[in-house]
């Protein structure tokens, strides 16, 4: 009897879970493990053979000074992108749940950038930064925009952050909206009667009650911005003079342009570990802030 | 409960593995089928499917239409285009095709890339004599890689200082004759006149490929008229036995670069590097000169309201008119057709050889490549005249034997232009001085020693 039930359960599970598990194995787990194996070899597309090297590739990763400075650069980029995107998304969501006319339309509008591919988005903003803004800057004498942001090492960094945050905001906003909608209205009303002002309401009631949404949003924004590649390629191509190469861009250049596949792949693994550690630690600590209504 | 989880996991694993096994089995059978069809290759009616990897992204559609024409003439051969994007991840795509064991039958690649993957391509030595008969003198020699013929050149390109004839004619008040013109001082005098007339003298395109692969590439090519000598020079650079800072050609070239920098129309923000805008501004007469090559015709040709007459002069490197480089334009056969030898059947290879010959010789393909795309083909029997005045101007230099062969860059590491291009960009915006630039370039070469 229990055997039959088990068989039945397994069947049901396979019908619903099977395809995803297969996809997960085929495009995530197996390539990942194979990639991990390749980091211990001197694999090269041109020759196709691989001999075992041990940890030599990893040693080279930590001697690759550009990789380390770019990892640091990426950390800064992620920090600013995550903060700007989340703060903006939270307040947008807050404004767009207050119940005024046309908020549905605005929600759609803010979500749209997320639907545009990173490459297209990058080229659009590139035109904006390198042609449109300098044109306006010269016309109206705004010193800030007179030269292209993308040709100055500092401004190019901020250009990357702004565009990435702009792309992320809509997506995070949707999650925050659903988080905010689940905050019971009576609790807020009760707090109002007890004399709490708007700021208190946000800090003491809304923020704790939307903590699950915050955890998810920060997790998503960290992992997504660490792996930014298409925007980087389309917007700055790593320039001016390689100063805005994010880690994943560097990895691709290392592997495919410099033909150092093993080292590139090892750098990708190091990047994976860094992302995993940071994203999981933040989730662990923020989860503790969650409360029940 | 625990046991059931283990069982479920086990079943999933079996399922996944069996699917993978099924995939690999499929692969085997298709290989067997391919192998068994070998003896039957005499059957001409057999369907052959070829794939064509294209890095000349600006003419993807031109090629696609040609493949249809070829299919009409040869119904048993179908060719599928594997397109790439302009400035996109072309090399990465090629590598992943190769690594996945499904390489394209024919690849249109940079000569340097073919050299790096030379073991993967078919040796075309048996075809060499035929192409030597068809090609302009020196064209097949120029396409040899390590002395071997593994890629068929289909286009020839030149670069240097393109000029807009109308702008210069208006400034000097007579018809501009480029042959009167061979030294850096000549160029500087003209730049001064142009600037005094209120026009911008020159546009430097600030992208790394233009600054390194083209401008700096000249420094290695100007060492000698012989590609092998130039290769030796670069080997010595890697070993650190020659010093660029005292090298005449390099310093001459960089002195000219200083001059171009001084009169650069993009001086306010040199690194913007918008290829379409730079080309269009030049074509509309906003600048008299433009450091670029005849390929910019793809942008300039269809432009509305552009000027009509364009020409090219070499980049002068000294004040001695007789120095090598002052009257020679850079000339190269940048893209070659190579045939895969790592995953294609002999049948496909034979069909590919026939197709490549058709691409070079047929009227339809010449009309498309020369007429539509505006490229120059290094072959004698041309059935169409080019509409591109820049490539016609370069052809004159070629006919007079006044060219700098930049074939040496085919042997450079593939990250060369991106890494030293960054150094050139720093020099362009005065982030480093000459000594700093030279050091960065030399350090790059030393870092590649032994690789």
pLDDT digits (tens, 9 = 90+) for B253-273: 999 999 999 999 888 888 888
CB proximity under 8 Å: B 415-434 to A: 415, 418, 422-423, 425-426, 429, 431
- B449 at the A interface (CB within 8 A)? no
pLDDT higher than threshold 60 for residue A269: yes
Distance from CA of B413 to the nearest CA of A (A): 7
Nearest-CA distance from B432 to chain A in Å?
Answer: 12
Structure-token pair, residue A143 = 């010193």
- Per mean pLDDT, which of A39-43, A45-49, A79-83, B332-336 is the most reliable? A79-83
User: Is it the case that residue B30 has pLDDT exceeding 50?
Assistant: no
The model's pTM is 0.81
Is A45 within 8 Å of B98 (Cβ atoms)? yes
Average pLDDT over residues B346-353: 90
At B451 the pLDDT is: 67
Range 207-236 of B in CB contact (< 8 A) with A: 208
Interface check B21 vs A, CB under 8 A: no
Q: Which residue has the tokens 């709490």?
A: A196
**Per-residue model confidence (pLDDT) at position B215:** 92
User: Average pLDDT of B245-258?
Assistant: 91
pLDDT tens, residue by residue, B123-172? 998 888 888 888 887 788 888 888 889 999 888 888 999 999 889 888 88
If pLDDT is split at 50, 70 and 90, which confidence band does B106 have? very high
B287-293 and B157-164: which strand pairing? antiparallel
Q: Which of B54, B288, B282 is nearest to B194 (CA)?
A: B288
> What is the distance between the alpha carbons of residues B260 and A13, in angstroms, rounded to a whole number?
70
User: CA dist B113 to A47, A265, B234, Å?
Assistant: 14, 21, 18
Q: Is A212 exposed, middle or buried (0-12, 13-18, 19+ CB in 10 A)?
A: middle
Whether pLDDT at B434 is above 70? yes
For B173-218, write each residue's pLDDT tens digit: 888 888 878 888 888 989 998 989 888 999 999 888 889 889 999 9
- A146 contacts in chain B (CB < 8 Å): 268
pLDDT bucket at A233, cuts 50 / 70 / 90: confident
Quickly list DSSP for B57-126: GGGHHHHHHHHHHHHHHSTTEEEEEE---TTSSHHHHHHHHHHTT---SEEEEEHHHHHHTGGGB---HH
Residue B23 in this model has a pLDDT that exceeds 60? no
Please determine, for residue B3, whether its predicted confidence score (pLDDT) is greater than 80. Answer: no
How does the average pLDDT of chain B come out, rounded? 84
Q: Is the dihedral of CA B166, B171, B175, B176 positive or negative?
A: negative
Q: What is the average per-residue pLDDT within B310-335? A: 88
Closest partner CB to B271 (pick from A14, A239, A258):
A239
Residues of A in contact with B15 (CB under 8 A): 14, 18, 21-22
Does the interface predicted TM-score (ipTM) exceed 0.85?
A: no
Ramachandran region of residue B51, left (φ > 0), alpha (ψ -120 to 50) or beta? Answer: beta
Contacts of B399 (CB under 8 A, 6+ apart): none
| For residues A159-163, average pLDDT | 90
Residues on chain B touching A47 (C-beta within 8 angstroms):
119
> What was the pLDDT predicted at B4?
61
Interface of A with B (CB under 8 A): 6, 9-10, 13-14, 17-18, 21-22, 25-26, 30, 45-48, 130-131, 134, 146-148, 150-151, 233, 239-242, 252-253, 256-259
Nearest to B271 among A17, A21, A151 (CB): A151
Number of H helices, E strands in chain A: 15, 0
Predicted local confidence at residue B1, as pLDDT: 46
Find the residue in B nearest to A21 (Cα): B12
DSSP summary character for residue B408 = G
**Interface contact flag, A131 B277, Cβ < 8 Å:** yes
Give per-residue pLDDT as tens, A238-256: 878 888 888 888 888 888 8
Does A257 contact B415 at a Cβ distance shorter than 8 Å?
A: yes
Higher-confidence residue of A172 and A239: namely: A172
CB contacts under 8 A, B 89-128 vs A, are 89, 91-92, 95, 98-99, 116-117, 119-120
What is the distance between the alpha carbons of residues B314 and B325, in angstroms, rounded to a whole number? 7
Task: Sort A54 into a burial class: Cβ within 10 Å, 0-12 / 13-18 / 19+.
Answer: exposed
**Pairing relationship of beta strands B77-82 and B48-54 according to DSSP bridges:** parallel
d(CA B278, CA A35): 42
Residues from chain A that touch B414, judged by Cβ atoms under 8 A, are 257-259
Please tell me which residue of chain B has the smallest CA distance to A14.
Answer: B12
**Predicted pLDDT of residue A1:** 56
Whole-number Å distance between alpha carbons of B210 and A233: 18
Distance of CA B43 to the CA centre of its chain: 38
Burial annotation B423-436 (CB, 10 A radius, 16+ → b, else e): bbbbbbbeebeeee
Interval B382-424: pLDDT, tens = 888 888 888 888 888 887 888 888 888 888 888 888 889 999 9
């Amino acid at each position: 009897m229990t055997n039959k039930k088990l068989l039945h359960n397994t069947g049901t599970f396979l019908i619903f879970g099977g395809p995803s598990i297969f996809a997960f194995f085929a495009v995530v787990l197996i390539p990942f493990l194979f990639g991990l194996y390749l980091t211990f070899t001197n694999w090269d597309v041109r020759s196709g053979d691989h001999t075992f090297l041990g940890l030599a590739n990893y040693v080279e990763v930590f001697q690759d000074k550009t990789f380390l400075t770019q990892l640091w650069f990426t950390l800064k980029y992620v920090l600013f992108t995550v903060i700007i995107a989340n703060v903006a998304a939270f307040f947008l969501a807050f404004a767009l749940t207050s119940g005024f006319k046309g908020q549905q339309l605005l929600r759609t509008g803010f979500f749209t950038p997320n639907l545009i591919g990173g490459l297209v988005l990058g080229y659009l903003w590139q035109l904006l930064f390198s042609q449109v803004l300098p044109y306006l800057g010269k016309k109206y004498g705004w010193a800030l925009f007179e030269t292209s942001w993308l040709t100055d090492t500092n401004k190019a960094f901020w250009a990357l952050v702004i565009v990435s945050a702009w792309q992320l905001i809509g997506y995070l906003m949707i999650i925050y909206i659903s988080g905010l909608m689940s905050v019971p209205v009576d609790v807020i009303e009760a707090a109002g009667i007890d004399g709490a002002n708007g700021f208190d309401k946000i800090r003491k009631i809304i923020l704790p009650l939307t903590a699950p949404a915050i955890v998810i949003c920060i997790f998503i924004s960290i992992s997504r911005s660490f792996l930014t590649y298409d925007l980087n390629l389309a917007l700055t191509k790593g320039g001016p003079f390689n100063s805005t190469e994010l880690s994943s861009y560097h990895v691709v250049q290392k592997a495919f342009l410099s033909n150092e596949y093993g080292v590139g792949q090892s750098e990708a693994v190091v990047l994976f570990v860094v992302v995993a550690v940071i994203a999981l630690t933040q989730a662990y600590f923020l989860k503790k802030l969650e409360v029940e209504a | 409960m625990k046991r059931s989880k283990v069982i479920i996991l086990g079943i999933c694993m079996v399922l996944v593995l069996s699917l993978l096994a099924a995939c690999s089995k499929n692969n085997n059978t298709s290989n067997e089928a391919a192998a068994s069809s070998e003896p039957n290759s005499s059957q001409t009616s057999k369907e052959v499917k070829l794939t064509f990897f294209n890095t000349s992204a600006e003419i993807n559609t031109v090629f696609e239409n040609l493949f249809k024409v070829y299919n009409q003439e040869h119904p048993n051969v179908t060719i599928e285009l594997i397109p790439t994007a302009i400035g996109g991840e072309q090399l990465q795509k090629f590598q992943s095709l190769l690594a996945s064991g499904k390489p394209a039958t024919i690849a249109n690649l940079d000569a340097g890339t073919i050299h790096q993957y030379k073991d993967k391509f078919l040796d075309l030595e048996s075809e060499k004599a035929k192409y030597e008969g068809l090609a302009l003198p020196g064209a097949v020699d120029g396409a040899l890689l390590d002395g071997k013929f593994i890629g068929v050149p289909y286009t020839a390109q030149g670069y240097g200082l393109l000029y807009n004839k109308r702008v210069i004619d208006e400034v000097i008040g007579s018809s501009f004759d480029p042959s009167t013109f061979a030294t850096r001082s000549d160029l500087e005098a003209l730049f001064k006149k142009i600037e005094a007339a209120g026009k911008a003298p020159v546009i430097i395109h600030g992208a790394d490929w233009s600054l390194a692969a083209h401008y700096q590439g000249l420094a290695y090519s100007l060492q000698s008229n012989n590609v092998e000598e130039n290769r030796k020079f670069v080997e010595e650079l890697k070993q650190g036995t020659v010093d660029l800072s005292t090298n005449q050609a390099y310093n001459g070239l960089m002195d000219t670069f200083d001059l171009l920098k001084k009169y650069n129309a993009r001086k306010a923000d040199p690194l913007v590097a918008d290829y379409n805008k730079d080309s269009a501004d030049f074509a509309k007469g906003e600048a008299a000169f433009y450091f670029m090559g005849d390929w910019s015709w793809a942008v300039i040709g269809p432009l509305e309201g552009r000027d009509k007459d364009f020409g090219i002069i070499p980049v002068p490197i000294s004040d001695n008119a007789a120095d090598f480089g002052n009257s020679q334009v850079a000339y190269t056969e940048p893209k070659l057709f190579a045939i895969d030898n790592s995953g294609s059947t002999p049948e496909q290879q034979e069909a590919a050889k026939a197709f490549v010959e058709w691409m070079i010789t047929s009227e339809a393909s010449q009309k498309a490549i020369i007429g539509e795309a505006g490229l120059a083909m290094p072959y004698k029997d041309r059935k169409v005249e080019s509409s591109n005045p820049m490539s016609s101007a370069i052809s004159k230099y070629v006919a007079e034997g006044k060219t700098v062969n930049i074939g040496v860059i085919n042997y450079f590491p593939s990250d060369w232009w991106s890494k030293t291009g960054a150094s050139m960009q720093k020099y362009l915006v005065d982030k480093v001085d000459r000594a700093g630039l030279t050091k960065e370039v030399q350090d790059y070469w030393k870092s590649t020693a032994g690789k």
